[in-house]
Structure 1
């Protein structure tokens, strides 16, 4: 932007702020110690305020010097009526009274920010760090038992991470699943199972042909539960949580 364009831009901002504060050119001139024609020349871009005058103008309007110049993000300055009234009145106060206004504004800002804070309650669960497979299988009891806190509440006996994609789209890799320890699972329930030494999160299917561990992802085949299989029910999946939730 050329110097002439900058001068016109600064001048237009001075005019905008002056009008927002309800000041005449003569009134503004008195406040910053210049003549009325000087303000007129500023506003049309014939002259540009020097640094001392820019400082005084920013003090009158309660803004920074940068606010007179084009913004790098191309956002226009919008002075609300309420803000203009606040600045107009506070600029006429003596410094001790201005500090009272500032202190009050800080208290209001702190209350506003505090009111916008959402506190998430955390719940603690027993956690197995060894993943429950949604794929090739993992041995659950090889994992280390510890505790984990999560911002969701389930009546679960333990939590474990999911490994693999065979239960998508319902359960994704690295999701946490909440498990209620129980042997009472029915056809169609999602549970955690041990089959031939491997731990799985699967859907239990029972029909006339037998029982199967079913994957929700169609690219995986069902795993039959045979008479000779080493099969155990660990529990029922009652919920899930992802860090992306």
Structure 2
């Protein structure tokens, strides 16, 4: 027998069944704690590709997450192959987990197109169903800076524009201090050229956290590692840090906004 469970409750149910905190789940699927919290509270709706990503992570079909249908079996009752994959994936470094997630997402998309021709129609119907009861509100925010995902620069004087965002897709005002647009490709696939970063000013961030860092006068968006700043895109070099470098943390990236 099947039961219907709304997406917010389902995320929390699967997260707890896998003994994960919000922070741990956010790190594993490349989101922020703020995003997970809003998903579980129902104040923010995920995009279609995000539903696919979290479904793959938990080892369930995306339609289960999309349509709120789940079986009465325990959420962690996975078949042997899925369990074996999960056992391997959890042993990988986060950047390698992201590669596995990308490959799995591509395979799933190909499978859906091949085996369920009406999948695209279902996706449209989900969006249309949301519109029936919710008009997504837009808000205008100032984006005063550009930040490079490549060679490092932070401009506040020649880029100050007003950007329209979906209100339910951005963090609360208290969670960030400024907004910057990304220029460059070194942090793909998580952060892409043209994305908007919501940044909280801080002088220190934890290891494995994406932040804005100034090195010898140049500013970068990178992931902090022990002894270097990491570029998520393997085609770009990491920034090795030495005792002679002048290093300053400008802030932590608390959320990423991508239109569409």
Q: Relative contact order: is structure 1 or structure 2 higher (C-alpha 8 Å, sep ≥ 6)?
A: 2
TM-score by length of 1: 0.46
TM-score by length of 2: 0.44
Q: Which has the larger radius of gyration?
A: 1
